Amino acid sequence: MLYNDAYIPILGNRHPAALGQRSERVWWDIWDSIGPLIASVIATGKAVWVDDLLLPVITGGRRGQRYFTFSYSPLMRDTGVVYGVMATVSETTERVLSTRRLNLLNAVAAAVMDTRTIDDAVAAAVAMCADQPDDLPFVAAYVG
């Protein structure tokens, strides 16, 4: 791997050891997801593009939800043989999670609009939140 300074935040604590290493060694924790894409680029010589792919990258010993939009493009010799892959990567985690959570808030608001009692409103809100365990692993409702 060769990369520029803009890629360092994506690497996290893998930098600087990642420099010069093979991708499958650096990205061992997500290789099952990205390896086939890279292999496809090498085999076909055709680029791939992926929007907002969830990659459960391990950072600091913990697996986290991180989303990425990226493309893999072939690097070709004059003979047409692929000798490498260029990755253009942008982390989209903040935008993806913000959008998902805003959609949840809108769903909760819509669910409680047609309720007539506090108990019904709480039940509707909790039911909506129960469908989003990644964003809301715990929900408490306090009624005064």
Best mean pLDDT range from 35-44, 51-60, 101-110: 35-44
What is this structure's pTM?
0.82
Tokens of 127: 């039911």
For the chain, the structural domain boundaries read 5-91, 92-144
CATH number belonging to the domain at 5-91, selected among 3.65.10.10, 2.40.10.480, 3.40.50.620, 3.30.450.20: 3.30.450.20
Q: What does residue 28 show for φ and ψ, rounded to 5 degrees?
A: -55, -35
The answer on pLDDT for 28 being more than 80 is: yes
**How do residues 70-84 score in pLDDT, each as one tens digit?**
999 999 999 999 999
Q: Beta-carbon neighbour count of residue 128 at 10 Å? A: 20
